[in-house]
Structures are given as C-alpha cells and as structure tokens.
C-alpha cells in the first residue's frame, strides 16, 4: 500500500510544479502593483508561497483610510462597576462650591438671573448690580408711553361746548325719558349731591313727596318665575309631577325663583321701606305656597328657605317699622300670620313679635 501512495504523490508533485512557477510574482511584471487577494483563494499554493505573498502585501504603503483605522487602536474593555470605582468617579465630578453654575443665556443679554440668598452664600459671590438698559431708542420709549399712558400722568380731556352729553343739550326729549336711561346710583347722586346739596329745607320738601315703592313689577317677576317652574314639569299622565325626576327638571327654575325673592327683599330691607316690605311679604307668601310640594324631604329645602326668608324679613319690618306701619296694616298682617302657621311653623315667632307690638300700641293709646 505504501508504494502506490508514494507513486501518486510523485505524479501530483510533477503536475503542480508548473502551477507553482506560474503563480510566483516576478519583479519584471509591474513591481508596484498590489497583488489581488483573489489569487490566494483561486490558486492552490503551498504554505511557502502564501507567506511570501503576505510579506509583499504588508510591505506596500497603506492608504490614508487604513492609517486612520490603525490609529484608532483596539476598543477598551468595559469596566466592572465597584463601589470604590463609583466613589472615585463621584469625587472627580464634584463641583467646587465657588464655581458658578453655567447658564443657557447668552453673555451679552441685559437680564440678570435671580438666585436665593442661600445659593449666593454658597457660591461666595454677590450678583452684579442691575444696570439700566440704554439700548432702547427714545422713539420706542415714547411709543410705549403713548400706547400705555401712566395713570398719574393721564388726564381726562376737558369737554368742549359741543361735546357735552345729549341729555344736557337736547330739549326735544322729555325729562322722564332721559331719566330712564340712568342707573339707580346715578339718580341717587343727582338728587343728593346736585339738587339737595345739604339744603335741609329742600330735603324736607323732597321727603314729603317720596312715594312708597311699587312692588307690582316685583310681583310680575316672581309670578313669571313660578310659571316657569310649572312649565318645566312633565306633562305626561304616566309621569308623576312631584318625584325626583320632576324635581331635576324644575330645580333650575326653583333656584331662579329663590334668587328673585331674596333680591327683592334685600332691596326693600336695605332701603328702609318697611311698609313696602310688609306688603311684599303678604304678596309673596301665596306664591311660595303655590310651588310644588315634593315627595322627598330633601327636595323641599328651597321651599323652606323661601319661607324662612319671608319670616325673617317680616320680623325685621315689624321691629323697625313699629306703629308707623299703621294699625290697619298690622291687623291685616296678624290675620294672615294665623293662616300661614300651617305652611311654616316658625312663623309663630313673627306672631309673638306682632302681638307685643300691638300691645304696646294699645297701652300708648
């Protein structure tokens, strides 16, 4: 077996010898050209030829990109985290207390950042003094003063003869029509400051001509609010008009009804018209009684609040008005209070105050 294998090796060596000679590089044929790497993979060469070709390839001048890649070096291995290494990194990154914190604002700006006193003490430096900005042109400053005038420097221009209100210059419009456009406060100032002006005689004459407030307009507003409450209730015969669903639909109008009632009473109470307040209570009590009486005790809270407001205002009118309200008005009120006891039990306190007032009147007579 050894003889045939040796014969095969001799035959292969004779056949590969021409190939080895053909693939060996020669200096006669283009000595400066690099040898392509495909020769090493395409031709069966021995180890000696491969080493020789590799040495010739390394002897060539590398390209600029190859030099940059070689200068980079190998990548550094990742460091394992340890408490000692973390403490060393933290010590290197610690900022000095006297080092100012860098800001994102440009240095050329005129704005000065504010800092707390503790931060200024820690940094050891005080902020620079504020400097007035001289970059604003005088034309811009004048324009700003024109757009936003200072309240101290702003003065109302005096009205010329032809710039007076039309109410002072027009004689075609009646006086009562012009007075309808004024607010209640304007009318009060006109009468007190201009017409009366501290004159006791004129004030006394004016008092004798003052009428009692007209509550007819207040009654119309209150009746309209009550009408809206009943209009919001369901109209179907299958739905109940005093349950929770009906109250949800009427709650908005009930609150409006209570707001109007409180507003009217406050207006009469603050103005001191006690006789008109008594008349208003006698008018508004049946309106409140006519509102729906809901099934739930909680839903009747607005109804009871209205009764309570009327009761308190009636007591205040009796105390402050006294016998000036008139004996006939007080007797009519007494009969009405006895009928209201079934609607609101706390009205009994008003009845007691009225009886004491009438008792004082009989003794004085």
- Say which residue the tokens 């207006």 belong to: 267
Cα–Cα dist 190/198, whole Å: 13
Q: For residue 78, what pLDDT band results from cuts at 50, 70 and 90?
A: low
% of the chain beyond a pLDDT of 70:
61
Averaged pLDDT for residues 315-321: 92
Phi and psi based region of residue 198 (left: phi greater than 0; alpha: psi -120 to 50; beta: remaining): left
What is the structure's pLDDT at 40?
A: 45
For residue 70, what pLDDT is reported? Answer: 76
Question: Whole-angstrom Cα distance, residue 292 to residue 241?
Answer: 8
Closest CA to 113 of 135, 130, 136: 130
pLDDT by residue (tens digit) across 172-181? 788 878 888 8
pLDDT value of position 283: 95
Q: Which of 278, 315, 289 is nearest to 222 (CA)?
A: 289
Instruction: Give the C-alpha separation, 283 to 220, whole Å.
Output: 11
Label residue 169 by pLDDT band (50, 70, 90). confident
pLDDT at 178: 82
Instruction: Calculate what percentage of the chain has a pLDDT beyond 90.
Output: 30
In tens, the pLDDT along 223-280 reads 999 999 999 998 888 888 899 999 999 999 999 999 999 999 999 999 999 999 999 9
* pTM of the complete model beyond 0.75: no
Residue 128: what pLDDT?
54
CATH classification for the domain delimited by 214-362, as one of 3.40.710.10, 1.20.58.1590, 1.10.150.120, 3.40.50.460: 1.20.58.1590
Integer angstrom CA distances of residue 11 from 6, 8, 44, 46, 48: 9, 5, 16, 16, 20
State mean pLDDT over 145-160. Answer: 51
Write down the pLDDT at residue 197: 82
Distance of CA 214 to the CA centre of its chain: 43
- Determine the longest span between alpha carbons in the chain, in angstroms: 167
Rounded-to-integer distance, Cα 166 and Cα 100, Å: 68
Residue-range domain boundaries for the chain: 180-210, 214-362
CA of residue 153 relative to chain centroid, distance: 34
Ramachandran sector of residue 30 (left: φ over 0; alpha: ψ -120 to 50; beta: rest): left
Provide the CA 318 distance to its chain's centre, in angstroms. Answer: 47
Q: Which range scores top for mean pLDDT: 40-49, 146-155, 345-354? A: 345-354
The contacts of residue 50 (CB under 8 Å, 6+ apart) are 40
Evaluate if residue 112 carries a pLDDT over 90: no
Alpha-carbon gap, residue 72 to 83, rounded angstroms: 31
Q: What's the length of the chain?
A: 365
- Contact 359/353 with Cβ under 8 angstroms? no
Q: Per-residue pLDDT averaged across 58-84, rounded?
A: 71
């Amino acid at each position: 077996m050894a003889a045939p294998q040796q014969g095969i090796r001799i035959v292969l060596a004779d056949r590969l010898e021409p190939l080895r000679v053909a693939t060996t590089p020669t200096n006669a044929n283009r000595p400066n050209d690099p040898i392509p790497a495909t020769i090493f993979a395409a031709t069966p060469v021995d180890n000696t030829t491969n080493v020789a070709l590799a040495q010739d390839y390394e002897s060539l001048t590398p390209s600029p990109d190859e030099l940059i890649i070689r200068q980079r070096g190998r990548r550094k291995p990742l460091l394992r985290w340890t408490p000692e290494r973390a403490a060393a990194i933290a010590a290197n990154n610690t900022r000095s207390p006297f080092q100012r914190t860098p800001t994102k604002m440009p240095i050329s700006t005129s704005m000065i950042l504010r800092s707390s006193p503790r931060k200024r003490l820690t940094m050891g430096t005080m902020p620079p003094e504020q400097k007035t900005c001289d970059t604003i042109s005088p034309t811009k400053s004048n324009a700003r003063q024109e757009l936003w005038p200072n309240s101290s420097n702003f003065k109302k221009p005096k009205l010329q003869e032809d710039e007076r209100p039309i109410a002072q210059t027009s004689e075609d419009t009646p006086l009562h029509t012009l007075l309808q456009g004024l607010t209640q406060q304007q009318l009060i100032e006109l009468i007190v400051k201009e017409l009366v002006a501290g004159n006791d005689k004129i004030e006394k004459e004016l008092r004798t001509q003052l009428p009692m407030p007209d509550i007819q307009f207040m009654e119309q507003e209150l009746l309209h609010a009550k009408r809206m409450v009943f209009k919001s209730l369901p109209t179907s015969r299958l739905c109940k008009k005093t349950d929770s669903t009906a109250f949800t639909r009427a709650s908005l109008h009930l609150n409006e009804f209570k707001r109007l009632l409180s507003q009217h009473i406050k207006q009469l109470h603050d103005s001191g018209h006690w006789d008109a307040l008594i008349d208003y209570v006698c008018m508004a009590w049946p309106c409140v009684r006519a509102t729906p009486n809901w099934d739930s005790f909680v839903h009747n809270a607005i109804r009871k609040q209205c009764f309570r407001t009327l009761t308190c205002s009636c007591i205040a009118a009796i105390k402050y008005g006294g016998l000036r309200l008139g004996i006939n008005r007080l007797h009519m009120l007494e009969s009405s209070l006895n009928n209201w006891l079934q609607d609101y039990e706390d009205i009994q306190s008003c009845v007691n105050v009225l009886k004491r007032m009438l008792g004082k009147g009989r003794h004085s007579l």
